[in-house]
Amino acid sequence: MQTLPDTLCYLNGEYLPLREAKVSVLDRGFIFGDGVYEVVPVYAQRLFRVDEHLARLGRSLAKLRIAAPHTDAQWLERCRKLVAALAVKTGAQDQLIYIEVTRGVALRDHVMPADIEPTVFMMATPMKPATAEQRHHGVACVTARDFRWERGDIKSVSLLGNVLARQMSADKGAVETILFRDGYLTEASASNVWVVHEGALLGPPKSEHVLEGIRYDLLRDLCEEAGIAYNLRPIPEADVLSADELLLSSATKEVLPVTTLDGQPVGHGALRGKPGPVYARLFEAYQQAKLTQSI
């Protein structure tokens, strides 16, 4: 049995050690996975693109018909307190804030109960970024059919499909499973996926099958600054397999090059199996964004 840390967390109006936090067995998040979550990256104790993360949290709550339990100012206040407490406790300057909101506690019934109080849980953890070796050499991924549910646009705590997909890559020593639905790219188990073709960055269009990653708009802006063409369009599996470069993006990965896919090197010519120039430009631009878009 894992020993949980005693770092500070927030649960339903109270700050307490993480190992002491408890929720009811009848919480609908436990019974049904009836809830949503958000993960906010923190650099040097400053929250990165927090407005965009809170806006997505609000969209997810609205899609599940859960009333927002806090204002943005209240979310921000709680985030800052947890960040400061973890920094004092562990010295961690770069962190992740995890926010979860479930519908709340009620007798088990599939119908959404009215007038119950949402459960709100928050914690800060040290960030585990990609390693220097991963950035230098790139990472390996595998592919699979996207067998998850039809509402990937909701950042739901119901993540069993994603867990199964991620385990497929873990079993093969890879870092991600890139998913295809009806022959077209959707996303990876815990990342968005980007294709570089003739110097342009391509991504799947926003839809109910793809979580609108915070880096969607960020990478659009970074491409504009760097003079890189950016386009969202349906991407056939063949275009992924023949890409000049493949990239992953997420809160923890930032932007990360994929250099091996299903055991085969990605790319062409001298750069085959190596991180490419578009990745290098976007990575540098991302580091600058962290300095200017964190509060």
> Active-site residues: which are they?
155
Task: Find out whether 58 and 69 touch, Cβ atoms under 8 Å.
Answer: no
Rg of the Cα trace of the chain? 20
Please state, in angstroms and rounded to a whole number, the distance separating the CA atoms of residues 54 and 101.
Answer: 12
For residue 285, what are the CA distances in angstroms to 25, 46, 124, 230, 289?
45, 18, 26, 15, 6
Phi, psi dihedrals of residue 141, rounded to the nearest 5°: -135, 165
Please state, in angstroms and rounded to a whole number, the distance separating the CA atoms of residues 275 and 271.
Answer: 7
Tokens of 166: 């991620």
List the Cα angle 56/33/97 in 5-degree steps: 45
Count of C-beta atoms within a 10 Å radius of residue 143 = 20
Helix/strand/coil for 135: helix
Q: Which helix (H) or strand (E) holds 10?
A: strand 8-11
Please state, in angstroms and rounded to a whole number, the distance separating the CA atoms of residues 258 and 252.
Answer: 15
